[in-house]
């Protein structure tokens, strides 16, 4: 039975539970709702919640844990010789998983049952058929691996059946429990409200769980990276040269330099333009001009970064190359730090301008009035009174923009190039932390090699960087707000 059908059955049962529960409550008091503790529908709700929620939670938990259990069972059945011959348990398991997925695909396309799949055999014909459904199965011809893949399918199918039965039983049990509990004196409303409160609390814990998940996955995988690759090399080396055959040099610094260089150029574009635009809009512009220009600038913030990436790739890159880099003899590459930086700067203009705009507006009018009263012109007031007063907030805004710039991916993937080097020439292609995360993790990669795992260490670095910037920015902005409240 498919998951979708199972969920539909549970929901259907819950729906019936609602109607039957309400009916039963009413019939217990011969239709006289005043003799019930709660409104009749609350009795229905109690049955619905007890039927659906535990069963659905069990489904989710089971689906979450099933692959681990299957992997554990299958791993125990693989002969030791196969594991050593194929270079480690992780690699074998990846192969097994891939082949069993391929077998699933074949079975679905050709309508085969389990026996027919087992009879497919391990010869080259199977390899071709797996290839035909888009599965590259290098190890498919190894009988031990093929058997393990069959065992994988069998265990999965068995556990799936067990799950279906367990979920249906749990739904039925919940239904009976809640249904038989109904009596006129049952405090159904309080019961339902407690239940809903627990649901609300568990939903709000998802945010915490996400953070925990991010940190746990980054730390765990970085840990396994540092076990096979020396941390001192990673943090101190200035060479980035991954080789998928082994013997890579994975130094962090070229990537960090590229990231910082691109971000600096982006800020050099975004901060002056954004800040001056914010000053003009909040101090000089008429309300009408403000009402038209502000949303227009904010469109820039709503455009997805892939659009900026394409803009960098097909428009800005060639222009910078033909008009600046080539005449000045600085390089002939259309993807460069400059391209990515300028385009990212355009993207960041609205972040800087709308944050600074808020902050400038928060400077009390009395300060401006005092300055005007002493005879200062408007620009003198802005430069000598408003900006110094708003400075902490503006610094916060710039830090937030910087954290955006560091974490931005698509623009640098499409605009900055892929060569990791330490150079000062802004028209040269360089690369950033985010570009390397993408390039190390896309494509068919072995999951246990340092070349892949390094992406997690890079991710951790990136996460810490942006988190520090954000926290600093928030602290500064909050301090500043308190100053004028």
Residues 266-285 that bind another protein (CB under 8 A): 272-277, 279-281, 284
Stretch that binds another protein, among 160-168, 172-180, 212-220, 384-392 (CB under 8 A): 212-220
Three-state DSSP state, 82: helix
Distance CA 472, CA 477 (A): 9
Q: How many residues bind another protein (CB under 8 A)?
A: 99
- What are the backbone dihedrals phi and psi of residue 79, each rounded to the nearest 5 degrees, phi first? -65, 145
- What are the backbone dihedrals phi and psi of residue 249, each rounded to the nearest 5 degrees, phi first? -110, 120
Closest CB to another protein among residues 82, 470: 470
Stretch that binds another protein, among 46-54, 118-126, 167-175, 218-226 (CB under 8 A): 218-226
Closest CB to another protein among residues 85, 268: 268
Alpha helices in 229-286 (DSSP H): 231-236, 253-279
User: Measured from the CB of residue 27, what is the shortest distance to another protein in angstroms?
Assistant: 25
Between vectors from CA 461 to CA 206 and to CA 310, what angle results, nearest 5°? Answer: 85
The mark string for 172-211 relative to another protein (x by CB under 8 A, - otherwise) is -----------------x---x--xx-xxx-xxxxxx-xx
User: Measured from the CB of residue 126, what is the shortest distance to another protein in angstroms?
Assistant: 20
Of 277, 260, 256, nearest to 397 by C-alpha is 277
DSSP string, 55-79: HHHHHHHHHHHHHHHHHHHHHHHS-
Give the one residue of 85, 162, 165, 220 binding another protein; rule: CB under 8 A: 220
Give the one residue of 29, 173, 395, 438 binding another protein; rule: CB under 8 A: 438
User: Measured from the CB of residue 176, what is the shortest distance to another protein in angstroms?
Assistant: 26
Is residue 4 involved in binding another protein (CB under 8 A)?
yes
Distance CA 416, CA 398 (A): 22
| Cα end-to-end span (Å), the chain | 61
Give the one residue of 76, 299, 328, 366 binding another protein; rule: CB under 8 A: 299
Closest CB to another protein among residues 25, 348: 348
Is residue 303 involved in binding another protein (CB under 8 A)?
yes
Closest CB to another protein among residues 146, 465: 465
Distance CA 254, CA 28 (A): 76
Closest CB to another protein among residues 50, 308: 308
CB neighbour list of residue 7: distance below 8 Å, 6 or more residues apart: 56, 59
User: Measured from the CB of residue 320, what is the shortest distance to another protein in angstroms?
Assistant: 13
User: Measured from the CB of residue 199, what is the shortest distance to another protein in angstroms?
Assistant: 6
User: Measured from the CB of residue 329, what is the shortest distance to another protein in angstroms?
Assistant: 27
CB 474 within 8 A of CB 403: no
Is residue 427 involved in binding another protein (CB under 8 A)?
no
Give the one residue of 186, 218, 250, 325 binding another protein; rule: CB under 8 A: 218
Positions in 313-372 near another protein (CB under 8 A): 313-315, 346, 349-350, 353
Alpha helices in 281-408 (DSSP H): 287-302, 305-311, 317-320, 337-362, 365-373, 378-381, 387-407
Distance CA 169, CA 181 (A): 18
What is the number of other CB atoms lying within 10 angstroms of the CB of residue 53? 17
Of 405, 219, 172, nearest to 305 by C-alpha is 405
User: Measured from the CB of residue 441, what is the shortest distance to another protein in angstroms?
Assistant: 5
User: Which class for 148: exposed (0-12), middle (13-18), buried (19 or more C-beta within 10 A)?
Assistant: buried
User: Measured from the CB of residue 385, what is the shortest distance to another protein in angstroms?
Assistant: 14
Positions in 107-166 near another protein (CB under 8 A): none
What is the number of other CB atoms lying within 10 angstroms of the CB of residue 164? 18
Read off the tokens for 388.
Answer: 């110094």
Closest CB to another protein among residues 167, 313: 313
Give the one residue of 459, 476, 477, 480 binding another protein; rule: CB under 8 A: 459
Distance CA 149, CA 118 (A): 10
Distance CA 378, CA 380 (A): 5
User: Measured from the CB of residue 81, what is the shortest distance to another protein in angstroms?
Assistant: 26
CB 232 within 8 A of CB 444: no
Stretch that binds another protein, among 174-182, 214-222, 329-337, 354-362 (CB under 8 A): 214-222
Closest CB to another protein among residues 51, 434: 434
Positions in 379-418 near another protein (CB under 8 A): 379-380, 382-383, 400, 403, 406-410, 413-414
């Amino acid at each position: 039975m498919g998951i979708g059908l199972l969920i539909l059955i549970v929901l259907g049962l819950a729906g019936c539970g609602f109607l039957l529960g309400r009916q039963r409550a009413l019939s217990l008091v011969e239709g006289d709702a005043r003799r019930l503790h709660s409104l009749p529908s609350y009795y229905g709700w109690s049955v619905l919640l007890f039927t659906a929620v535990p069963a659905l939670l069990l489904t989710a938990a089971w689906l979450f844990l099933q692959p681990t259990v299957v992997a554990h069972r299958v791993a125990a059945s693989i002969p030791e010789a196969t594991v050593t011959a194929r270079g480690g348990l992780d690699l074998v398991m990846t192969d097994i998983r891939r082949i069993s997925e391929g077998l699933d695909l074949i079975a679905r396309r050709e309508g085969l049952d389990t026996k027919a799949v087992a009879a497919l055999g391990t010869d080259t014909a199977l390899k071709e058929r797996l290839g035909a459904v888009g599965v590259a199965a290098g190890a498919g011809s190894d009988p031990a691996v093929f058997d393990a893949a069959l065992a994988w399918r069998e265990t999965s199918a068995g556990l799936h059946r067990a799950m279906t039965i367990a979920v249906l039983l749990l739904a039925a049990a919940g239904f009976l429990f809640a249904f038989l509990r109904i009596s006129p004196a049952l405090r159904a409303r309080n019961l339902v409200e407690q239940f809903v409160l627990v649901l609300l609390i568990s939903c709000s814990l998802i945010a915490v769980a996400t953070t925990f998940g991010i940190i746990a996955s980054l730390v765990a995988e970085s840990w396994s990276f540092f076990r096979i690759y020396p941390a001192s090399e990673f943090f101190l080396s200035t060479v980035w040269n991954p080789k998928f055959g082994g013997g890579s040099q994975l130094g962090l610094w070229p990537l960090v330099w590229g990231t910082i260089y691109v971000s600096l150029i982006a800020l050099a574009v975004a901060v002056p333009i954004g800040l001056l635009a914010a000053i003009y809009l909040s101090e000089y512009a008429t309300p009408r001009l403000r009402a038209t220009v502000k949303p227009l600038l904010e469109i820039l913030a709503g455009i997805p970064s892939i659009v900026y990436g394409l803009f960098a790739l097909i428009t800005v890159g060639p222009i910078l190359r033909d008009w600046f880099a080539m005449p000045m003899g600085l390089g002939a590459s259309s993807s460069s730090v400059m391209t990515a930086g300028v385009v990212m700067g355009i993207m960041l203009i609205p972040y800087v301008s709308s944050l600074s705009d808020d902050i400038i507006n928060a400077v009390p009018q009395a300060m401006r009035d005092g300055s005007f009263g002493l005879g200062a012109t408007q620009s003198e007031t802005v430069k000598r009174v408003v900006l110094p007063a708003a400075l902490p907030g503006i610094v916060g805004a710039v830090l937030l923009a910087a954290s955006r710039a560091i974490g931005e991916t698509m623009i640098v993937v499409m605009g900055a190039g892929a060569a990791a080097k330490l150079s000062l020439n802004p028209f040269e292609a360089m690369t950033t932390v985010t570009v390397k995360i993408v390039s190390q993790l896309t494509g068919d990669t072995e999951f246990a090699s340092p070349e892949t795992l390094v992406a997690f260490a890079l991710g951790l670095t990136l996460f810490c960087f942006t988190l520090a910037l954000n926290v600093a920015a928030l602290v500064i902005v909050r301090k500043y707000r308190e100053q004028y409240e």
